[in-house]
Amino acid sequence: MVKVLVIDDEQAILDLLEMILKREQFQVAVANNGRTALALFDSFKPDIVILDLMLPDISGHDLCKEITKRRKTPIVMLTAKDDIVDKVLGLELGADDYITKPFSIREMLARVKAVLRRASIQQMNKVFKFGNICIDFEKHEVLNNHKKVDLTLKEFELLEILVKSKGRVVTREFLLEKVWGYEYVGETRTVDVHIRHLRQKIEEDDKNPQYIETVRGIGYRFNFGE
């Protein structure tokens, strides 16, 4: 179930949003002040936050800044103010959308679902799976059968370029320039050595690679292994 944290100092708003969100099969936690909200954010780990700007202890803008600092989570700002400056500031601090009170239930649900869809698409671009391998580009983490693969920074950067160029041949010269930041004239063997180490860590049989294909005389191509 998708987790929603609702932060508002008006109990009537909390009760209303909790009711309609639960009716839509969301798991809901509510807070009526900033301190409680931060504690819930850490323990509940919501997938999206609905945040009122006007709170009794911490301003909504400061709370938005603190939330985005702790973990990237979609935020819908909720405010009684119809001031474009407040809305722009909220978006600049990391909010993904805003809605002004009074709001319709239909609009609120539409905004929440739209933000969740965008966040889901962004997350798909950050995580890539093939075979038993899962790559999280944001965390710089690779898992093989759910076990962490210990890659060097250069190995990870090579893998990222190859995966994001999947199906296309990438030359050794291009990899050398992009990963090392400058060209070793005649030293493309550096790339070959790192590719060999990379294969040993992610391929089932590094002598007969399924994913990282050598294109003789040119470079490498990433395949899905079908």
42-70 average pLDDT score: 90
- Arithmetic mean of pLDDT over the chain: 86
Cα–Cα dist 51/113, whole Å: 15
- Give the residue from 140, 141, 96 showing the smallest Cα distance to 119: 96
The residue ranking higher by pLDDT, 83 or 25, is 25
The string of pLDDT tens digits covering residues 97-133 is 888 888 899 999 998 998 888 876 665 567 788 888 8
Range(s) for CATH 3.40.50.2300 in the chain?
3-126
More confident of the two residues 186 and 39: 39
> According to the model, what pLDDT value does residue 186 have?
53
Sorting pLDDT into bands at 50, 70 and 90, what band is 82?
A: low
The residues with which 50 forms a beta bridge, in sequence order, are 6, 76
Task: Classify domain 131-222 by CATH architecture.
Answer: Orthogonal Bundle (1.10)
CATH of 3-126 given 3.40.50.1220, 3.10.129.10, 3.40.605.10, 3.40.50.2300: 3.40.50.2300
Residue scoring higher pLDDT (180 or 223): 223
**Mind spelling out the 3-state secondary structure of 131-172?**
CCEEEECCCCEEEECCEECCCCHHHHHHHHHHHHCCCCEEEH
Residue extent(s) of CATH 1.10.10.10 domains in the chain: 131-222
Confidence at residue 226, expressed as pLDDT on a 0 to 100 scale: 46
Residue 162 has pLDDT above 50, yes or no: yes
